[in-house]
Amino acid sequence: MAADFANLGVKVAPEIIEQEPDTFEVWRVNWKAVRSFLKISTQWQVVAGASGFVWIGLDYAAAAAALRGRSDRAWRILLAELRIMEHAALDVLNAEPAE
């Protein structure tokens, strides 16, 4: 996983990157949200600067277009779940690299 981040030019502290396999259990109740998060994984808003990338967050308009076809209520529930994963991802993506 460290190589994946390096290939993207993203500096992530080594202690944040787990050395375990890329497999993990997803509870059935969370499966739709995880699949949706992976589906919109290219919809990040990122700013590039002299010190590297700053990950701003997901582009919700693009996410809504990619995940269209849901009722308003279903979209609001899914969006709340996506925001939880987004905030967790931002903590990792924007972490200061270890020296």
Residue 50 has a pLDDT of: 85
Is 73 within the bounds of a domain?
yes
Is 65 within the bounds of a domain?
yes
Is 98 within the bounds of a domain?
no
Alpha-carbon separation of residue 33 from 17, 27, 36, 48, 84 (angstroms): 22, 10, 5, 28, 10
Residue 23 has a pLDDT of: 77
Is 82 within the bounds of a domain?
yes
Residue 78 has a pLDDT of: 93
Residue 20 has a pLDDT of: 62
Q: How many CA atoms lie within 13 A of 51 on its CB side?
A: 7
Average pLDDT per 10 consecutive residues for the chain, totaling 99 residues? 76 70 84 95 92 92 89 91 96 80
Is 17 within the bounds of a domain?
yes
Residue 18 has a pLDDT of: 65
| Count of domains forming the chain | 1
Is 43 within the bounds of a domain?
yes
Is 99 within the bounds of a domain?
no
> Range of 75's domain?
2-93
Is 44 within the bounds of a domain?
yes
